[in-house]
Amino acid sequence: MDLTKYVQAVSLEDFGKPFRHQAVWNRRLRTSGGRFFPHDGHLDFAPRILEEYGEALFRQIVRHELTHYHLYFEQKGYKHGDADFKKLLKEVDGLRYAPPPKQRTVHEYLCRECGQVFQRQRRINLERMRCGACGGRLKIREIGLKADDGG
Ligand SMILES: [Zn+2]
Ligand SMILES: [Zn+2]
């Protein structure tokens, strides 16, 4: 997908106004689906939204960021708490909050003997599995993936 072209199309079809800046993917966005940068007008989007939830929901995230975008350049209330923002977001059927990341738990294992750390997506059998470095027994430690925030 050419992201900027996609955002241009959504802007014309759903707002009736052109999008004149750049849209770029940002994999570091975790809890938010996108972000608007007033200083240069560009938009960031989290590819996870498209990957995990599909195009229909991603389009609602694009509408959210375009709501910030158009209101800002029209010198109206473009922030989440502003009446202009709430009104326009509702009109275009934008999404107020990005859906949460479908985080996979990463299972982390630690060798009891040498301290070597292993990460696996799936649980492993601790009775059978031994440390690849020293042959020692492993113990489990579970961690989640970290999330940041944005708008
Ligand atoms: Zn070991
Ligand atoms: Zn926002």
Same domain for 71 and 115, yes or no, is no
Same domain for 18 and 83, yes or no, is yes
Edge-first strand order for the sheet with 34-36 is 23-25, 43-45, 34-36
- The encoded tokens of residue 123 equal 């649980």
Closest ligand by atom to 31 CA:
2
Give the start-end residues of each E strand in the chain. Answer: 23-25, 34-36, 43-45, 106-111, 117-120, 138-143
Same domain for 75 and 113, yes or no, is no
- Domain ranges, residue 23: 3-91
Classify 148 in phi/psi space as left (phi over 0), alpha (psi -120 to 50) or beta.
beta
Contact 138, 111 (CB under 8 A): yes
Is the pLDDT score of 129 beyond 60? yes
In a domain, 66, yes or no: yes
CA of 91 to the centre of ligand 2 (A): 15
Contact 96, 34 (CB under 8 A): no
- The encoded tokens of residue 21 equal 């800046």
Which of 52, 65, 108, 127 is the catalytic position?
65
Q: Domains in the chain: how many in total?
A: 2
- The encoded tokens of residue 111 equal 């060798």
CA of 151 to the centre of ligand 2 (A): 4
Q: What is the pLDDT of residue 147?
A: 44
- Overall average pLDDT of the 20-46 stretch: 94
CA of 106 to the centre of ligand 2 (A): 29
Same domain for 84 and 112, yes or no, is no
Classify 28 in phi/psi space as left (phi over 0), alpha (psi -120 to 50) or beta.
alpha
Domain with 78 in it: what CATH number? 3.30.2010.10
Is residue 103 very low, low, confident or very high in pLDDT (cuts 50, 70, 90)? low
Same domain for 86 and 62, yes or no, is yes
Same domain for 86 and 134, yes or no, is no
The 10s digit of each residue's pLDDT in 49-60 is 998 889 999 999
Is the pLDDT score of 148 beyond 50? no
Q: What is the pLDDT of residue 83?
A: 98
Same domain for 47 and 121, yes or no, is no
Does residue 65 carry a catalytic annotation? yes
CA of 104 to the centre of ligand 2 (A): 25
Same domain for 77 and 9, yes or no, is yes
The maximal CA–CA distance of the chain, rounded, in angstroms, is 66
CA of 145 to the centre of ligand 2 (A): 23
Closest ligand by atom to 96 CA:
2
Closest ligand by atom to 32 CA:
2
The 10s digit of each residue's pLDDT in 108-122 is 889 999 999 888 877
> What is the rounded average pLDDT for all residues in the chain?
89
